[in-house]
């Protein structure tokens, strides 16, 4: 489904821009990514996710609303944020934190971020129209052209904001920008299908083949996910991603069951990626004033990852470690 830009193509500034006033909530825009599709890419990290994976390395993206991050090490306890908050959501607290935010009261207005001269507070989540977001990614168009790259929409779960994402992807398509999406696949088929025609590549997460284990560690059943992966692979090129988490899904039994499932997807399965668990997201839980439950889990050993990769390859599936 790779599209080639015609030599005589001249973007029509009036064709797609200003077509929609709907806004989407974006956690952040990451430029020059090399891991989420071919070439140099801009990664759009959407807010909101229906899963609660215990190992999640981007908890900022779970909440579908704007939220405050608190960087404790920068806070001097000046109290400016307490006085400014219209919700009275911030209170003083004892060490090690200087202040604490009652998250149920916070409306994400960002006033406390503005007054904090120590940059101890940040706001996760900014609203964009599809056109505003497109203008942002368009700045890197020269890099996409030279590297064969493009845009990848991830999260969070992009299909939670399917209408907005669809409009944004239509803009990318009209400008012949390669578009990929990463999804947890826990969504209605209608929402997912509405985006597939605008995508050149779909990354789909496969967390566990056993329904009960999947529910215990993510909060949802895997049934709909497996069904959506099967259906999407009939229409689009798909890369399966398995986060390999010790104590959860790193057994030979589970990975071989995953490989058997993947094999049945046919020629649209480009490859299977095994993503070793890492604890790099722990500080993000601190910034959200949340606890992290997997502190004791260590990343899987290199040798074990190599064995799993060899086993997947024995099914005739292209497999790599990492994205
Ligand atoms: S304004 Fe900033 S530095 Fe002052 S108490 Fe609030 S978070 Fe801490
Ligand atoms: S974002 Fe607004 S409501 Fe939330 S803590 Fe800051 S000032 Fe208060």
Segment 227-252 mean pLDDT: 97
pLDDT tens digits, one per residue of 161-201: 999 999 999 999 999 999 999 999 999 999 999 999 999 99
The ligand 1 atom at the shortest distance from the C-alpha of residue 79 is 5
Q: Which residue is closest in CA terms to ligand 2's atom 3?
A: 106
- Same domain as 151, residue 47: yes
Cis peptide before 65 (omega within 30 of 0): no
User: Which of 124, 156, 172 marks a domain boundary?
Assistant: 124
CA-nearest residue for atom 6, ligand 2, is 112
> Which ligand 2 atom minimizes the distance to the CA of 101?
5
Tell me whether residue 35 is in a domain: yes
Asked if 311 contacts 259 with a C-beta cutoff of 8 angstroms, the reply is yes
Would the pLDDT of 248 be above 60?
Answer: yes
Q: Which ligand is nearest to the CA of 116?
A: 1
**73 is a domain residue:** yes
- Rounded Cα distance between 5 and 192, Å, is 26
Whole-number pLDDT of residue 21: 55
Asked if 254 and 145 sit in the same domain, the reply is: yes
Same domain, 204 and 75: no
Per DSSP, the three-state class of 184 is coil
Question: Are 84 and 193 members of one domain?
Answer: no
Exposure on the CB side of residue 201, measured as CA atoms within 13 A = 23
Mean pLDDT, rounded, for 202-220? 97
pLDDT at 33 over 70: yes
What is the Cα–Cα distance from 49 to 41, expressed in whole angstroms?
22
- Residue 298 is classified by DSSP as P
Same domain, residue pair 57 and 71:
no
Residue 80 CA to ligand 1 center (angstroms) comes to: 6
For residue 236, the enclosing domain spans: 30-62+135-321
Task: Give yes or no: residues 293 and 312 share one domain.
Answer: yes
Whole-number average pLDDT of the chain: 92
Beta strand 269-276 with 238-244 is parallel
Helix or strand holding residue 143 (H, E): helix 141-147
Mark whether 145 and 274 lie in a shared domain: yes
Q: Is the pTM of this model over 0.95?
A: no
E strand residue ranges, 112-198: 121-124, 126-128, 150-154, 178-183
- Atom in ligand 1 nearest the alpha carbon of residue 121: 7
Nearest CA owner, ligand 2 atom 8: 85
Structure tokens at 251: 């057994």
Query: What was the pLDDT predicted at 15?
Result: 38
pLDDT at 25 over 50: yes
- Both tokens of 90, joined, read 């911030």
Query: Residue 18 — φ and ψ, nearest 5°?
Result: 65, 25
Same domain, 263 and 294: yes
What total number of domains does the chain contain?
2
- Condensed to tens digits (0 to 9), the pLDDT of residues 58-117 reads 999 999 999 999 999 999 999 999 999 999 999 998 777 799 999 999 999 999 999 999
> Where does residue 128 fall: left (phi above 0), alpha (psi -120 to 50 degrees), or beta otherwise?
beta
- C-beta separation of 172 from 137 below 8 A: yes
Backbone angles phi, psi at 287, to 5 degrees: -65, -25
Is the minimum distance from the CB of 110 to ligand 2 under 6 angstroms? Answer: yes
Query: Which numbered ligand comes closest to the C-alpha of 104?
Result: 2
Q: Is 322 exposed, middle or buried (0-12, 13-18, 19+ CB in 10 A)?
A: exposed
**Ligand found nearest the CA of 85:** 2
My answer on whether 40 and 152 are in the same domain is yes
**pLDDT above 70 for 5:** no
Shared-domain flag, residues 209 and 72 = no
By most ligand atoms within 8 Å of CB, the mutation choice from 106, 110, 120 for ligand 2 is 106
What does the DSSP assignment read for 204-241? Answer: EE---SSHHHHHHHHSS-SHHHHHHHHHHHHHS-EEEE
Reported as a single tens digit per residue, the pLDDT across 258-307 is 999 999 999 999 999 999 999 888 889 988 989 898 988 999 999 999 99
Q: What is the pLDDT of residues 216-236, one digit of tens each?
A: 999 999 999 999 999 999 999
Question: 320 forms bridges with which residues in the sheet?
Answer: 273
| Rounded Cα distance, 164 and 186, in Å | 18
């Amino acid at each position: 489904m790779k599209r080639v830009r015609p030599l005589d193509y001249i973007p029509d500034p009036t064709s797609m821009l200003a077509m929609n006033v709907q806004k989407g909530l974006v956690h952040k825009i990451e430029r020059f990514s090399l891991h989420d599709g071919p070439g140099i890419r801009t990664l759009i990290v959407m807010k909101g996710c229906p899963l609660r994976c215990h190992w999640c390395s981007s908890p900022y993206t779970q909440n579908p609303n704007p939220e405050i991050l608190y960087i404790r090490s920068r806070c001097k306890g000046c109290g400016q944020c307490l006085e400014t908050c219209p919700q009275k959501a911030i209170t003083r607290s004892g060490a090690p934190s200087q202040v604490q935010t009652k998250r149920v009261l916070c409306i994400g207005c960002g006033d406390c971020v503005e007054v904090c001269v120590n940059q101890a507070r940040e706001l996760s989540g900014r609203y964009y129209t599809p056109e505003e977001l497109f203008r942002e990614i368009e700045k890197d168009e020269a890099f996409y052209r030279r590297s064969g790259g493009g845009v990848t929409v991830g999260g969070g779960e992009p299909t939670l904001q399917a209408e907005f994402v669809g409009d944004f992807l239509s803009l990318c398509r009209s400008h012949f920008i390669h578009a990929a999406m990463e999804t947890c696949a826990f969504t209605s088929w209608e929402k997912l299908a509405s985006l597939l025609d605008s995508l050149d590549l779909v990354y789909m997460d496969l967390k566990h083949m056993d329904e009960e284990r999947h529910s215990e560690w993510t909060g949802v059943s895997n049934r709909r996910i497996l069904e959506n992966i099967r259906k999407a692979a009939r229409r689009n090129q798909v890369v399966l991603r398995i986060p390999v988490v010790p104590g959860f899904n790193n057994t030979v039994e589970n990975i071989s069951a995953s490989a058997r499932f993947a094999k049945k997807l046919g020629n649209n399965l480009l490859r299977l990626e095994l993503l070793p668990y890492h604890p790099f997201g722990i500080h993000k839980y601190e910034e959200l004033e949340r606890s992290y439950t997997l502190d004791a889990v260590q990343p899987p050993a290199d040798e074990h990852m190599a064995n799993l990769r060899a086993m997947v390859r024995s099914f005739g599936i292209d497999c790599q470690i990492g994205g």
